[in-house]
Amino acid sequence: MLMSIRADHSTVQKTPDSVKGRAELALNNEFLRRAVKFTTERLKSGKLAAAEEHGNWEEWRERGRQIRLHTIAHLDYYLEQFVNNARAHGVHVHFASDAKEAVQLTMRIAKEKQAKSAVKSKSMVSEELHINHALEEEGIEAIETDLGEYIIQLAHETPSHIIIPAIHKNRHQIAELLSKEAGEDLPPDTAVLAGFVRKKLREKFLEADIGMTGCNFAIAETGSMVLFENEGNGRMVSTVPKTQITFMGMERIIPTLDDLEVMATLLPRSATGQRLTVYMSVLSGPRRAADADGPEEMHIIILDNGRSLQLGDTHFQELLNCIRCGACLNACPVYRHIGGHAYGGVYSGPIGAVLTPALNKNMAEWDDIASASSLCGACYEACPVKIPLHDMLVYLRHRKVEAGRGEQAEKMGMQGFRFIMSDAKRLKMIAKLGRWVQKPFVRDGKITTQIGPLKGWNAYRHLPSLPSETFREQWKQLEQELHASGRPTVHEEIRARMEKLVAARNQSDHMHAGDMARSSDLQAASRLKAAEGERRDER
Amino acid sequence: MNDKTFLAELDAQSRVKQEEFFDHIASRLQRPRQKTAPIRTLKGAPEDWDRYELSLEARITQFVKHWELAGGHAHRLAAMKDAVLLIQDMVRHTGAKHLIMQDQPELEPIQTALLRTKEELQREEQQDINLTIWNAHGLDDAAKGWLVAAAAQADIGITAAHAAVSYTGSVVLPSSEISGRTVSLLPTMLIVIIPVLRLKTRLGEVLRPMDEWPLAERPAGIHFVSGPSRSADIENDLTIGVHGPGIVHALLIEEA
Ligand code: SF4
């Protein structure tokens, strides 16, 4: 360490109240311009090549699935190991059975810290909690810091895509929103808009009392939490504010950092086509005594909120394997057609169609989504941990029919399904364009215009009602339509799976309704029903 | 209530709640609590992958390719003195005013050289450079805050990598007293020094040994960085430097 250099920053010391007060933040365009000029500019096209195919992808998917299956099967053990190791690093770990408890815990911490503002990095879990609302009620400013989330927040909307939340907004709409915030007219130029957000949010990071993050993975062996991101705001919120609060779904665990290599291979490739996200941060506790940055206090709130309902459920336990990559959304022709907002819940696309009713302990309200999904199997093919989403979608409908509820809804759903499938040829073309979200989809017009027929369906009161049909008859129709829509290989696979389901259904057909709970297939349905009752009582 | 009692109270409540929480999980799984480590037949990446090993030359080529594909700039340099020259040149050409660098021993030649550059530029009345060295040893909270403030306004941040991974095109940056997390995050441009012997092929080669690190030696933050900060949130159009550095240079030093 050279003392003569140390003297340098003593000359800067002027007004030491907050880091923000100390840092003179400039947009620094001149430096940026010259720095770019100094080197060859290879980002002119504004596009980066997606990673080339990773060899033996199937083997990696299977490995990913095995790691997730193993962890979930021993979730209590790994969660406890994680908690003990995180505590050893000085993390304050908390448990919340539902969203309400998680919010209460957060608010207790925020009040104790006398927080005025909280900066957040994108997290679906915090969407589940509606934490912004709770913070704002206490007069604490909650700032979304992902570029897309920030835009969505300014527009007072909810995200339409797990990975690209503002996919439904175009440049001009964004410029309009940001101009309001800036108090001056900003041109609809991506670089200018991003530059404005960089400066604006940097001020927010530096003055915020609390940083809030989600958690992609938690490592049992080391007590670490892992964040994957591209912008750097996840690092900001987990480095700059004094207090960090992390919301973690209780299923986020993997056993070791060794296993992280598998997740780090599957997640970015499936989410955005990258070899690895720009930042992968392995965070183990608050800053050490000797460190000069990092949070002084770190809280991790472990959330159940309906997740444990899927444990022990033979048909839906695999939902807990989900690594929230969004690949099934990009692969789904229905999602591409209607966009995320139509799904109504926090999670959209095929995963949302299954997860939302599962988390909400209530499938009746959401089944139109399950019905609308095209059952083409593209979601399963895209899923890096091989979750049989289409089986689940079919089963969800099956369960509802079995439970003898929502007959009308089912018919409406069928109409919706036909509506989508009548477009199948066109959608198939879109599906072929690839796994990653690409410009054509955004500009497709379907997503940006948010026609949202799913919501509309409920209003189509004048539709002729279908003759009463059994599930098997309905399936035959679906089968025919699927066949007509192409994808022959997938079709065969689905049929095999469906035959199994139908066989299970045939067995239960012979049962008296009162015996339904004894059928393992139907236990979950009655549990759901009971849970639904509970939920109503809560209200 | 002071902070300590508040946290103690929260922790006590958490320890009660956790038993209920874990018991509930076990009961949903229809078995007693799992108290011993489950037997694992599979761990980490597929076995075939573990045999994937490139020669040093191939690792360097692959790293450069992947780092550049992600939008970074890479330089193959024979010796540290070439890195020094390159950085001095960058400082002059970009008109950088604020620089921040870690106090890592491997960066010493750069520290010394930049001090010289600073004096030269002052004499020439060209540029007034402010150079901050990140070393938190013995600093109080206010002084530590100044380090972060310096990083926040820095044009260039300089750090040495603990390791690098060619397949993913990543550099690995653990935090410590002499290695701030904000140095690789807040500056507009980031320069990472990579002695090539630290360059591995696979992510697993870096991650696996970290499982064994003793608790007391585990850094609070380990950051894997694979290019410039980027976003595609506006019309799926690539934007660099959204929050972190938009320009990143990897300097591969080939001398042993
Ligand atoms: S279900 Fe599979 S594809 Fe969909 S978000 Fe989850 S992990 Fe990704």
Q: Does B166 touch chain A (CB under 8 A)?
A: no
Mean of the per-residue pLDDT values of chain A: 71
Residues B121 and B221 in one domain: yes
Query: Which residues of chain A from 452 to 511 reach within 8 Å of chain B, CB to CB?
Result: none
User: What pLDDT, on a 0 to 100 scale, did the predictor assign at position A19?
Assistant: 56
- Residue A404's identity, in one-letter code, is G
Per-residue pLDDT at A277 exceeds 90: yes
More confident residue, A215 or A182: A215
Query: How does residue A432 score in pLDDT terms, banded at 50, 70 and 90?
Result: very low
A322 CB within 6 A, ligand 1:
yes
| Closest alpha carbon within chain A to B105 | A1
User: What pLDDT, on a 0 to 100 scale, did the predictor assign at position B249?
Assistant: 97
Per-residue pLDDT at A89 exceeds 60: yes
Q: CA-CA distances (angstroms) from residue B178 to A235, B98, B137, B147, B222?
A: 19, 19, 8, 11, 14
What is d(CA B231, CA B237) in angstroms, rounded to the nearest whole number?
8
Q: Does A173 touch chain B (CB under 8 A)?
A: no
Rg (CA), chain B: 23
Domains of chain A: 9-309 (3.40.50.10420), 408-468 (no CATH)
Q: Does A236 touch chain B (CB under 8 A)?
A: yes
Residues B151 and B195 in one domain: yes
Q: Do B148 and A25 touch (CB under 8 A)?
A: no
Per-residue pLDDT at A412 exceeds 60: no
Per-residue pLDDT at A59 exceeds 90: yes
Per-residue pLDDT at B107 exceeds 90: yes
Query: How does residue A435 score in pLDDT terms, banded at 50, 70 and 90?
Result: very low
User: What pLDDT, on a 0 to 100 scale, did the predictor assign at position A430?
Assistant: 35
Q: Do A94 and B246 touch (CB under 8 A)?
A: no
Q: Do A284 and B218 touch (CB under 8 A)?
A: yes
Q: CA-CA distances (angstroms) from residue A399 to A34, A313, A516, A526?
A: 63, 13, 11, 9
Q: What residues in B contact A286, CB-CB < 8 Å?
A: 220
| Residue B38 located in a structural domain | no
Residues B22 and B148 in one domain: no
Residues B150 and B213 in one domain: yes
More confident residue, A28 or A488: A28
Lowest mean pLDDT among A310-319, A327-336, B71-80, B156-165: A327-336
Q: Do A80 and B22 touch (CB under 8 A)?
A: yes
User: What pLDDT, on a 0 to 100 scale, did the predictor assign at position A92?
Assistant: 98
Residues B170 and B60 in one domain: yes
pLDDT of A62-73, one tens digit each?
Answer: 999 999 999 999
CA count, 13 A, side-chain hemisphere, A513: 5
User: What pLDDT, on a 0 to 100 scale, did the predictor assign at position A148?
Assistant: 81
Residues B197 and B71 in one domain: yes
Q: Do B241 and A42 touch (CB under 8 A)?
A: no
User: What pLDDT, on a 0 to 100 scale, did the predictor assign at position A485?
Assistant: 44
**Total CB pairs under 8 A between chain A and B:** 394
pLDDT of A151-201, one tens digit each?
Answer: 888 887 766 565 566 666 778 888 888 899 888 898 888 888 888 888 899
Q: What residues in B contact A297, CB-CB < 8 Å?
A: 7
Residue pair A209/A243 in contact (Cβ under 8 Å)? The answer is yes
Token pair of A402 as six digits: 């079995």
User: What pLDDT, on a 0 to 100 scale, did the predictor assign at position B226?
Assistant: 97
Query: How does residue A74 score in pLDDT terms, banded at 50, 70 and 90?
Result: very high
Q: How many domains does chain B have?
A: 2
What is d(CA A385, CA A271) in angstroms, rounded to the nearest whole number?
12
User: What pLDDT, on a 0 to 100 scale, did the predictor assign at position A13?
Assistant: 38
pLDDT of A383-410, one tens digit each?
Answer: 999 999 888 887 777 766 555 544 444 4
A323 CB within 6 A, ligand 1:
yes
Q: Does B109 touch chain A (CB under 8 A)?
A: no
CA count, 13 A, side-chain hemisphere, A135: 27
Pocket test residue of A389, A390, A391, A393 for ligand 1, highest count of atoms within 8 A of CB:
A389
Q: How far is the CA of A50 from the centre of ligand 1 (A)?
A: 19
More confident residue, B104 or A512: B104
Residue pair B165/B205 in contact (Cβ under 8 Å)? The answer is yes
Q: What residues in B contact A275, CB-CB < 8 Å?
A: 66, 70, 167-169, 226
**Which of A19, A232, A258 is nearest residue B152 as measured by Cβ atoms?**
A19
A267 CB within 6 A, ligand 1:
no
Q: Nearest 5°: phi and psi at A402?
A: -60, -40
Residue A335 CB contacts under 8 Å (≥ 6 apart), including other chains:
A329, A348, A349, A350
Residues making up chain A, counted from first to last: 539
Query: Which residues of chain A from 26 to 55 reach within 8 Å of chain B, CB to CB?
Result: 26, 28, 30-32, 34-36, 38-40, 42-43, 46-49
User: What pLDDT, on a 0 to 100 scale, did the predictor assign at position A26?
Assistant: 55
pLDDT of B11-25, one tens digit each?
Answer: 999 999 999 999 999
Q: Nearest 5°: phi and psi at A149?
A: -65, -35
Residues B22 and B114 in one domain: no
Percentage, residues of chain B above pLDDT 90: 85
User: What pLDDT, on a 0 to 100 scale, did the predictor assign at position A193?
Assistant: 84
Distance from CA of A137 to the nearest CA of B (A): 22
| Residue B68 located in a structural domain | yes
Secondary structure element (H or E) that encloses residue B252, with its range: strand B247-253
Residues making up chain B, counted from first to last: 256
More confident residue, A539 or A284: A284
| Residue B106 located in a structural domain | yes
Residues B23 and B150 in one domain: no
Per-residue pLDDT at A338 exceeds 80: no
- Report the predicted TM-score, pTM, of the whole model to 2 decimal places: 0.81
Residues B110 and B232 in one domain: yes
What is d(CA A333, CA A426) in angstroms, rounded to the nearest whole number?
9
Percentage, residues of chain A above pLDDT 90: 37
A382 CB within 6 A, ligand 1:
yes
What atom of ligand 1 comes closest to residue A329's alpha carbon?
A: 4
User: What pLDDT, on a 0 to 100 scale, did the predictor assign at position A342?
Assistant: 57
Q: Does A25 touch chain B (CB under 8 A)?
A: yes
More confident residue, A459 or A254: A254
Q: Do B188 and A35 touch (CB under 8 A)?
A: yes
A326 CB within 6 A, ligand 1:
yes
Q: Whose CA is nearest to atom 4 of ligand 1?
A: A328
Distance from CA of B181 to the nearest CA of A (A): 7
Q: CA-CA distances (angstroms) from residue A385 to A256, A328, A487?
A: 17, 11, 22
A328 CB within 6 A, ligand 1:
yes
User: What pLDDT, on a 0 to 100 scale, did the predictor assign at position A402?
Assistant: 58
What phi-psi label fits residue A45: left (phi over 0), alpha (psi between -120 and 50 degrees) or beta?
alpha
- What's the mean pLDDT in A509-513? 35
Lowest mean pLDDT among A311-320, A456-465, B121-130: A456-465
Residues B116 and B12 in one domain: no
CATH number assigned to the domain comprising residue B201: 3.40.50.10420
Q: Do A282 and B33 touch (CB under 8 A)?
A: no
- Which residues form the domain of B17? 1-30
| Residue B82 located in a structural domain | yes
State whether ipTM is beyond 0.90.
Answer: yes
Q: Does B139 touch chain A (CB under 8 A)?
A: yes
Residues B70 and B140 in one domain: yes
Q: What residues in B contact A43, CB-CB < 8 Å?
A: 71, 238, 240
A327 CB within 6 A, ligand 1:
yes
Q: How far is the CA of B181 from the centre of ligand 1 (A)?
A: 31
pLDDT of B189-222, one tens digit each?
Answer: 999 999 999 999 999 999 999 999 999 999 999 9
Residues B110 and B149 in one domain: yes
User: What pLDDT, on a 0 to 100 scale, did the predictor assign at position B30?
Assistant: 95
Residue pair A323/A385 in contact (Cβ under 8 Å)? The answer is yes
